[in-house]
Amino acid sequence: MAQTIDAHQHFWIFDPVRDSWIDEPMKAIRKDFLPKNLKPVLADNGIDGCVVVQSDQSQVENLFQLTNAMQHDFVKGVVGWVDLRARNIEDQLAHYRFYPKMKGFRHVLQGEKDRALMLKRSFTNGISKLENYGFTYDILIFPDQLKYAKKLAAAFPHQKFVIDHMAKPYIKDGRIDDWKKDMQAIARLPNVYCKISGMITEADWKKYKPADFTPYIDVVVEAFGMKRLMFGSDWPVCLVAGSYKKMKAIVDAYFNTFSEREKAAFYGGNAIKFYGLL
């Protein structure tokens, strides 16, 4: 039986200074979230394993997440952080190659004042080194940055990229046209995957209904196809807008009529292939 994988979740020991992005409306997640908290949730939802993604941009974060992964078999991979602009980027990548569960890296591009930072020569120099060490790259952006992400991914056709959270479309406002056009454009690049994750936090947290998400899922399913999409929960961030079970139920209902092969790919196979999970 195929393994099921949550391709996007987080662990942290809450720090009010470091984690200041968790503002008052998100106070439900102002606490620690660790493997012991996630394991029963995954079991309750029929998920075998997960990929933990960085939430702090530091080397300390990498060690924390790698330790979690090494101590818990169900944590199959880590997406960490390195300063891609660093002069010693190759030394850093060579170091992390010795950790089998370090699968790739991410930068919080959505929060950068320079919306096109990813196209700066110093940044692309780092991206150019990832393939040599077998690392993937998670693209965390808002819709206004999709056009830059397309240029980045097109410049490195052999590098594996995945768009986190469908690039956070404006579900709450019902805006779709520009995002749809840009997602269709980047999906034409065969080296780019997409995570169907983080949707409920982009909707009206108190009033959303399953139908609100259908047009957006339609776009990525049609654009990427079922071989380049992954399921991700964005736990525990998803808890500000509901529960893991409620979030997954929306996705499950959408894909209910898809073939078993397509569902096996979406709920695990594609993540295993993309990240090279053990």
pLDDT per position as a tens digit, 150-173: 999 999 999 999 999 999 999 999
Per-residue pLDDT band for 2 (boundaries 50, 70, 90) equals: confident
What range does the domain containing 239 cover?
A: 5-275
Burial class (CB in 10 A: 0-12, 13-18, 19+), 88: exposed
Q: Cα separation of 9 and 170, whole Å?
A: 21
Q: Cα separation of 240 and 22, whole Å?
A: 10
Q: Cα separation of 16 and 222, whole Å?
A: 41
The stretch 199-211 carries a mean pLDDT of 96
pTM over 0.75: yes
Let me know: does 229 contact 258? Beta carbons within 8 Å: no
The stretch 91-109 carries a mean pLDDT of 97
Per-residue pLDDT band for 1 (boundaries 50, 70, 90) equals: low
Higher pLDDT, 8 or 278: 8
| Among 41, 61, 57, 59, CA closest to 49 | 41
**In the predicted model, is pLDDT for residue 15 greater than 70?**
yes
The stretch 68-89 carries a mean pLDDT of 98
The stretch 249-270 carries a mean pLDDT of 98
Write phi, then psi, for 9 (nearest 5 degrees): -150, 175
The stretch 84-104 carries a mean pLDDT of 97
User: Total domain count for the chain?
Assistant: 1
CATH number of the domain bearing residue 237 = 3.20.20.140
Per-residue pLDDT band for 128 (boundaries 50, 70, 90) equals: very high
**In the predicted model, is pLDDT for residue 178 greater than 80?**
yes
**In the predicted model, is pLDDT for residue 63 greater than 60?**
yes
Q: Cα separation of 155 and 175, whole Å?
A: 29
